[in-house]
Structure 1
Amino acid sequence: MSDMKYTKDHEWIRFEGEIAVIGITDHAQNALGDVVFVDLPEAGREVTAGEAVAVVESVKAASDVYAPIAGRVTEVNSGLVDEPALINSEPTGGGWFFKIAPAGALPDDLMDANAYAAYVESLA
Structure 2
Amino acid sequence: MNFPDDLRYTNDHEWVKVLEDGTVRVGITDFAQSELGDVVFVETKPVGASLKQHEVFGTVEAVKTVADLFAPVAGSIKAVNEALDAAEVVNTSPYEEGWMIELTVDDPAQLEALMTAEQYKKTVGE
Assess same fold via TM > 0.5: yes
Is 2:111 aligned against 1:94? no
2:12 paired residue number: 9
Root-mean-square deviation (Å): 1.2
Is 2:63 aligned against 1:73? no
- TM-score (structure 1 length as normaliser): 0.94
> What secondary structure does 1:43 align onto?
coil
The count of corresponding residues between Structure 1 and Structure 2 is: 121
Give the Cα separation in 1 of the matches to 2:8 and 2:111. Answer: 11
What is the Cα deviation at residue 64 of structure 1?
Answer: 0.5
Give the Cα separation in 2 of the matches to 1:89 and 1:15. Answer: 22
Q: How does 1:1-124 map to 2 (within 5 A)?
A: 1-17=4-20, 18-81=22-85, 83-104=86-107, 105-106=109-110, 109-121=113-125
Give the Cα separation in 2 of the matches to 1:80 and 1:28. Answer: 16
What is the Cα deviation at residue 109 of structure 1?
Answer: 3.8
Checking the alignment, whether the CA contact within 8 Å between 1:7 and 1:109 is kept in structure 2 is no
- TM-score (structure 2 length as normaliser): 0.92
Give the Cα separation in 1 of the matches to 2:119 and 2:76. Answer: 27
In structure 2, list runs of 5 or more residues that go unmatched. none
